[in-house]
Amino acid sequence: MKLKNIALSLLFVSVCVTLNAQSTKDNYYTPKWSDNIFVSVGGGVYSIYNDGFVKGNPHFNVSLGKLITPTWGVRAQVNGAWTSLCQTNIHHHKHHFIGANIDGLLNLSTLFAGVNTNRVFEVFAFLGPQMNISKSDNGTLVIDEQQHSSYFLTNDGHAERHTRIGASAGLGLKFNLNRSLALDIEARGSIAPSNFGNVSDYRKSEGAGALTVGLSYIFGGKKFNKVSDRVVEKEVVREVVREVPKEVIKEVIKETSKGAIASAVFFKINRAELSEQAKVNIKLIAEAMKQMPDAEFTIGGFADKATGTPAINQRLSEKRAQVVYDALVAEGVNPNQLTKVANGGTDNMFGKNYLNRVVIMRNK
């Protein structure tokens, strides 16, 4: 039983990895190891299956996990409370238990409908090994047919501690309140040797079910970048040096002072921070602007219309325009020469969606 459960769990993880590779084609990655770590808490009802599902008992869970990609992740969960045994010959038998689960998480919405970091409703599946620890009686069930009664005769008169290994799986519905907080509804089914020991007629493989409602919180919100963005960034880095020779600055000033200035600073998805190469570009343009004290310049911020809502893209374009404006002023450009414009999300201006994540600087 233990080997089968472990093998089944490993198979599920392998399937998750394979499906993720096929559905997202490795287009997304987590920028830092500390990104997309989440905690969740929940409560609900728990019931075991003997002659039928018994009445629900209180149940809780606390989880810590990480989203590896938009499609799959992992989590460790602690759960428990108590449960009751109800069979033909046993009318009342209850014990407390504590359980632990390792779950592989598969986002079915992303798998079948594609990646959308702003999706409100998501459906996910999970599967993995579990372990339950409890104390319960162990001995012999005695049935007195003449008295039409039964009782349980323990081996030594004391409850025994049982540790049982099994497997569980389930489905969940996630309602994303924002990029960090979500409401979760989960249904989990499991099978394992009974924690009730020989009391249970299903002691070798006893089923159980749990229904819980809870909240999940992702520290810092969901953060996934496209691999294509990272490739573009590496290509740009190879072409730009951190220390720009003064001769290069002089040539840029000489050329731009003769006519119009136009330059672009690109950003990562859902970001408004300047990269090292962007700072180099701003330094060059700032030197040219200072040589044109009578000119006026527009700092236009843009976002990628293909990702994000209009409201999010509008705020993001404002932040990008502001960070470039601040950087130019820090380089000595007269702020009276600069006008910020937030254009929100826009369609392809340069043939690629990711190239719309940009601030364009030009003179009026």
Strand pairing report for 338-346 and 297-304: parallel
What confidence score (pLDDT) does residue 186 get?
97
What confidence score (pLDDT) does residue 74 get?
96
Element (H, E) at 8: helix 2-24
Buried b / exposed e across 67-104, counting CB within 10 Å, b at 16+?
Answer: bbbbbbbbbebebbbebbbbbeebeebebebebebbbb
Residues 210 and 188 sit within 8 Å (Cβ to Cβ)? yes
What confidence score (pLDDT) does residue 252 get?
43
What confidence score (pLDDT) does residue 109 get?
93
What number of helices (H) and strands (E) belong to the chain?
6, 16
What confidence score (pLDDT) does residue 57 get?
84
What confidence score (pLDDT) does residue 32 get?
78
Distance CA(168)–CA(63), nearest Å, equals 15
Tell me which amino acid residue 168 is. S
What confidence score (pLDDT) does residue 23 get?
41
Tell me which amino acid residue 257 is. S
Q: What is the pLDDT along the chain (364 residues), one digit of tens a residue?
A: 454 555 455 445 445 544 444 443 446 767 778 889 999 999 999 888 766 666 678 899 999 999 998 999 999 999 988 777 665 555 556 667 888 999 999 999 998 988 887 789 999 999 999 998 876 554 455 555 565 555 555 555 555 667 889 999 999 999 999 889 999 999 999 988 876 666 666 677 788 889 999 999 999 888 877 665 554 444 444 444 344 444 544 444 444 444 567 788 888 888 899 988 888 889 888 988 888 888 899 999 999 888 878 888 899 999 999 999 999 999 999 999 999 999 988 877 777 778 888 998 888 7
Strand pairing report for 37-49 and 28-29: unpaired
Distances (CA, A) of 133 to 98, 197, 239, 283, 316: 5, 12, 59, 63, 50
Element (H, E) at 79: strand 72-85
Distances (CA, A) of 338 to 43, 176, 249, 335: 55, 39, 21, 5
Distance CA(147)–CA(174), nearest Å, equals 53
Would the pTM of this model clear 0.75, i.e. be above it? no
Residues 6 and 184 sit within 8 Å (Cβ to Cβ)? no
- DSSP3 helix / strand / coil % (the chain, rounded to 5): 25, 45, 30
Distance of CA 246 to the CA centre of its chain: 46
Residues 51 and 100 sit within 8 Å (Cβ to Cβ)? no
Place of tokens 């238990």: 97
DSSP line for 131-183:
EEEEEE--EEEEEETTTTEEEEEESSSS-EEEEEEEEEEEEEEEEESSSSEEE
Element (H, E) at 226: strand 225-226
Residues 302 and 346 sit within 8 Å (Cβ to Cβ)? yes
Residue closest to 348 by CA, chosen among 357, 359, 337: 357
What confidence score (pLDDT) does residue 37 get?
94
Distances (CA, A) of 119 to 17, 238, 248, 309, 360: 22, 36, 46, 10, 30
- How crowded is the C-beta side of 27, counted as CA atoms within 13 Å? 13
3-state secondary structure of 110: helix
Domains of the chain, each with CATH number or no CATH:
2-218 (2.40.160.20), 227-363 (3.30.1330.60)
